[in-house]
């Protein structure tokens, strides 16, 4: 039993209980008062519970009883006039109550909720209830029911005419508008089925009786059933169908040509078809009628009320006798005009969106969970010179796109894509890819997975931005910064050289002058030894002055030992790594740092050691060429006996002449000064350490230097970093 049945049964039980209670109360009241007035309670309860027919019967019974008691009271044959008057009064009051109750119920039932047309749908919550259908003429009840069904199914508001019961018992024609009850994409005019127009049901259904019976079932469900014989003539069509197209069955079956329909002739229903649809539909229908195949089609029919054409989706199946012979055809038609209008509107919006996407200078892609492309923007197709058949040939499309990736970036890109697919993570990578013009350009790509409720990836959305100009601009800016730094270094060196020359020139000039004077005094005959001795003393003073100048300049570059403090070599390397982080990222070089635990603090000039480490790391970065398969830089810090050993390795080509690499002004770079490694060795040597280089197998070089471990005073240990 459904919830509705249970609720109905519950309500019925409550009404019956109330009726029994009223009857009992009325009986007790009449017995206590010796007056029949108490019986009004069950009579009014019965009149309220039952329908109008029962109330009319009750009125007739009460009226007949009232006439009998009134006649008896007038003649009073046995002297019981007071009792008869009491019953006469009771019957009159009971009859009046029932009549008043019946009048109120009838007025409440027949008064329409809205003036004018009745609406079914979201505008009238009354809907197709039993109360509403009781006011509809029995012959029109199916029409109104079908209108509501068609409105909900097709999305078209339906307007039909039906006969409505009036308070005086007559029927008048009224329009009913059935709304779909839901909103659709476009405003849709109402579909009018004028039931007052002539329509017919053929009497000669013949052996298509089974088809007509099934059509009636379809009509009950959808209001669109029809039947046809084996020659293409209609034997039944719903009133809605006939009045919508404005043709009766006789008009639809009218012979338009000398040939029968199966032989290529035409019937009257041709006139309601769209000119562009008829020949296709007729040929398809003839094929199904001739072969017995199921018929499904879509076409446009003209509506007589508006003259416009509406789309219909139809399905037709044959009926057969016991021998399997086709006896007729039954079919169903659904108005899909709203669906077609919505589909067209969506197609227009999709086209607008596609045009908008194609206008954006960004590569946009949509791929399945397995990585097959389902959408590529025009910018992507043009860049790779692909056609619009990429969905039919996904493997060839992916192969063409993979082959365009720069060889130096292919392995890195493949690894990132595989890792993203396995983990389901977002993908972000920058790589070079060759366009249709053969030029490689830098692309910045992002991919985002789309998941279903279970978490499985169903699609990938990806975008690629052309950042080639940005990358080139950054590279040019970096080169400009390096050129500026070298120019600044050259300018500083020139200024320093001029300063040194200025400072040293005066004592040297004095030295040369005194030397010449000493020579002259010694060449005299006899030599003037006193004067020569004075000249030699001036030479010594000038030499000492030049030496002091050189010492001050050296002290300027080689800082005093007093600047050295206990320092953590691991922290110094970490700071150097942070300073070079941006350059490592720009050159796409990985850095691995390994530091032994519990290393002692060293007495260092942290600035000089940090500068030496940075120079060695930068030298290793510059040794890694852009075409290197492995792009890795390593720093290893360990304790070896009484010293700390720092090894900086790279994956470059190695060192061809290790013996000359630390010589001043020796360089393997096109624009190098050859002073970086020499300065590094000077710094390490000044700290009591040693710097050398080794070639690393299978490729690369390792620069190794040591720093001695010195015993520190207790006061210094407290300041160790």
In tens, the pLDDT along 35-70 reads: 676 676 677 766 666 666 666 777 788 777 777 777
**Do residues 609 and 687 make contact, with C-beta atoms less than 8 angstroms apart?**
yes
Q: Is residue 126 pLDDT above 50, yes or no? A: no
Mean pLDDT of 462-476: 88
pLDDT value of residue 104: 62
pLDDT value of residue 549: 64
pLDDT value of residue 611: 77
pTM here is: 0.38
Task: Say how far apart CA 378 and CA 75 lie, in whole Å.
Answer: 108
Query: Of 548 and 456, which is predicted with more confidence?
Result: 456
**Do residues 705 and 684 make contact, with C-beta atoms less than 8 angstroms apart?**
yes
User: pLDDT band for position 291 (50/70/90)?
Assistant: very high
Range with the lowest mean pLDDT among 216-225, 419-428, 444-453, 563-572? 216-225
Q: Which helix H or strand E contains 417, and what residues bound it?
A: helix 407-423
* ω into 126 cis (within 30 of 0): no
366 exposure class (CB count in 10 Å sphere: 0-12, 13-18, 19+) = middle
Range with the lowest mean pLDDT among 30-44, 451-465, 546-560? 546-560
pLDDT value of residue 552: 57
Q: pLDDT per residue over 706-715, tens digit each?
A: 999 875 554 4
Q: Is residue 127 pLDDT above 60, yes or no? A: no
pLDDT value of residue 440: 92
Q: Is residue 515 pLDDT above 70, yes or no? A: yes
Q: Is residue 284 pLDDT above 90, yes or no? A: yes
User: pLDDT band for position 273 (50/70/90)?
Assistant: very high
pLDDT value of residue 605: 78
Range with the lowest mean pLDDT among 109-118, 321-330, 351-360, 407-416? 109-118
pLDDT value of residue 720: 43
CA distance to 176, 493, 578, 582, per residue, from 585 (Å): 75, 31, 11, 5
Q: pLDDT per residue over 87-102, tens digit each?
A: 777 777 777 777 776 6
Q: What percent of the chain has pLDDT over 70?
A: 73
Q: Is residue 509 pLDDT above 50, yes or no? A: yes
Both structure tokens of 700: 């690369």
Q: Is residue 514 pLDDT above 70, yes or no? A: yes
Q: Is residue 206 pLDDT above 60, yes or no? A: yes
User: pLDDT band for position 116 (50/70/90)?
Assistant: very low
User: pLDDT band for position 112 (50/70/90)?
Assistant: very low
Q: Is residue 642 pLDDT above 70, yes or no? A: yes
Contacts of 696 (CB under 8 A, 6+ apart): 649, 650, 654, 702
Mean pLDDT of 336-361: 78
Range with the lowest mean pLDDT among 201-205, 380-384, 575-579, 624-628? 201-205
Nearest 5°: the CA angle 484, 490, 492 is 100
pLDDT value of residue 63: 78
* ω into 698 cis (within 30 of 0): yes
Mean pLDDT of 602-609: 81
**Do residues 244 and 305 make contact, with C-beta atoms less than 8 angstroms apart?**
yes
Both structure tokens of 524: 């005299």
Task: Say how far apart CA 346 and CA 352 lie, in whole Å.
Answer: 10
Range with the lowest mean pLDDT among 246-250, 338-342, 488-492, 630-634? 488-492
Q: What percent of the chain has pLDDT over 90?
A: 11
Q: List the strands of the sheet with 643-650, edge to edge.
A: 590-595, 632-640, 643-650, 701-708, 690-695
Mean pLDDT of 593-608: 84
Task: Say how far apart CA 405 and CA 9 lie, in whole Å.
Answer: 76
pLDDT value of residue 270: 92
Range with the lowest mean pLDDT among 6-20, 490-504, 507-521, 677-691? 6-20
Residue 679 C-beta-side C-alpha neighbours within 13 Å: 18
Both structure tokens of 699: 């490729």
Q: Which helix H or strand E contains 489, and what residues bound it?
A: helix 468-523
Q: List the strands of the sheet with 171-178, edge to edge.
A: 118-120, 171-178, 158-165, 191-193
Task: Say how far apart CA 442 and CA 363 lie, in whole Å.
Answer: 13
Residue closest to 233 by CA, chosen among 223, 248, 243: 248
Query: Taking all residues of the chain, what is their mean pLDDT, rounded to a whole number?
Result: 77
Q: Is residue 444 pLDDT above 70, yes or no? A: yes
Query: Of 64 and 150, which is predicted with more confidence?
Result: 64
- DSSP conformation class of 34: T
Query: Of 188 and 632, which is predicted with more confidence?
Result: 632
pLDDT value of residue 665: 61
C-alpha dihedral over 680, 685, 689, 693, to 10 degrees?
50
């Amino acid at each position: 039993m459904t919830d509705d049945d249970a609720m109905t049964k519950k309500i019925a039980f409550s009404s019956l209980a109330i009726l029994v209670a009223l009857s009992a109360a009325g009986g007790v009241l009449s017995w206590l008062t010796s007056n029949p007035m108490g019986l009004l309670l069950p009579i009014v309860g019965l009149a309220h519970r039952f329908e109008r027919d029962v109330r009319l019967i009750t009125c007739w019974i009460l009226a007949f009883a009232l006439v009998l008691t009134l006649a008896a009271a007038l003649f009073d044959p046995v002297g019981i006039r007071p009792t008869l008057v009491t019953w006469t009064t009771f019957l009159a009051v009971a009859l009046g109550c029932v009549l008043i109750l019946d009048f109120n119920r009838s007025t409440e039932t027949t008064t329409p909720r809205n003036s004018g047309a009745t609406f079914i749908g979201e505008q009238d919550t009354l809907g197709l209830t039993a109360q509403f259908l009781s006011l509809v003429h029995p012959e029109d009840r199916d029409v109104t029911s079908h209108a509501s069904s068609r409105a909900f199914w097709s999305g078209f508001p339906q307007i039909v005419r039906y006969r409505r019961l009036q308070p005086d018992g007559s029927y008048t024609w009224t329009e009913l508008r059935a709304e779909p009850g839901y909103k659709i994409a476009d405003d849709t005019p109402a579909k009018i089925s004028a039931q007052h127009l002539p329509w017919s049901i053929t009497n000669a259904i013949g052996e298509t009786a089974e088809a007509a019976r099934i059509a009636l079932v379809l009509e009950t469900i959808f209001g669109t059933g029809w039947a046809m014989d084996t020659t293409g003539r209609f034997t039944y069509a719903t009133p809605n169908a006939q009045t919508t197209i404005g043709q009766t069955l006789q008009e639809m079956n009218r012979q338009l040509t000398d040939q029968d329909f199966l032989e290529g002739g035409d019937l009257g229903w041709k006139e309601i078809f769209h000119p562009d649809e008829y020949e296709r539909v007729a040929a398809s229908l003839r094929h199904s009628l001739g072969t017995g195949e199921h018929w499904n089609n879509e076409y446009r029919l003209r509506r007589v009320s508006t003259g416009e054409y509406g789309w219909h989706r139809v399905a037709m199946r044959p009926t057969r006798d016991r021998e399997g012979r086709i006896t007729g055809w039954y079919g169903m038609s659904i108005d899909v005009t709203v669906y077609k209008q919505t589909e067209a509107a969506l197609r227009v919006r999709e086209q607008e969106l596609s045009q908008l996407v194609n206008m954006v200078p960004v590569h946009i892609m949509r791929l399945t969970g397995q990585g097959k492309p389902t959408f590529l923007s025009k910018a992507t197709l043009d860049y790779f010179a692909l056609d619009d058949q990429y969905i039919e040939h996904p493997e060839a499309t992916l192969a063409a796109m993979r082959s365009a990736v720069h060889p130096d970036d292919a392995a890195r890109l493949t690894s990132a894509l595989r890792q993203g697919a396995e983990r389901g993570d977002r993908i972000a990578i920058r790589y070079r890819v060759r366009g249709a013009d053969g030029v490689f350009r830098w692309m910045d790509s992002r991919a985002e997975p789309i998941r279903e409720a279970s978490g499985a990836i169903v699609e990938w959305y990806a975008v690629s931005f052309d950042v080639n100009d940005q990358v080139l601009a950054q590279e040019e800016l970096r080169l400009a910064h390096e050129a500026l730094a070298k120019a600044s270094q050259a300018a500083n060196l020139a200024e320093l050289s001029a300063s040194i020359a200025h400072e040293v020139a005066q004592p040297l000039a004095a030295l040369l002058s005194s030397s010449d004077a000493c020579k002259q005094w010694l060449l005299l005959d006899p030599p003037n030894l006193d004067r020569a001795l004075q000249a030699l003393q001036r030479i010594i003073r000038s030499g000492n002055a030049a030496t002091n100048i050189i010492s001050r300049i050296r002290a300027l570059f080689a800082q005093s030992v007093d600047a050295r403090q206990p320092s953590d070599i691991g922290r110094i390397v970490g700071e150097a790594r942070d300073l070079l982080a941006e350059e490592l990222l720009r050159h796409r070089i990985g850095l691995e740092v390994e530091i032994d635990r519990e290393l002692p603090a060293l007495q260092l000039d942290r600035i000089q050691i940090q500068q030496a480490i940075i120079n060695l790391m930068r030298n290793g970065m510059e040794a890694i060429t852009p075409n290197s398969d492995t792009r890795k830089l390593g720093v290893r810090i360990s304790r070896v006996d009484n010293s700390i050993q720092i090894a900086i390795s790279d994956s470059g080509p190695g060192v061809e002449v290790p013996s000359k690499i630390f010589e001043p002004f020796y360089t393997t770079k096109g624009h190098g000064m050859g002073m970086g490694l020499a300065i590094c060795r000077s710094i390490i040597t000044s700290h009591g350490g040693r710097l050398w280089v080794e070639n690393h197998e299978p490729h690369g070089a390792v620069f190794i230097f040591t720093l001695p471990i010195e015993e520190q005073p207790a006061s210094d240990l407290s300041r160790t970093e």
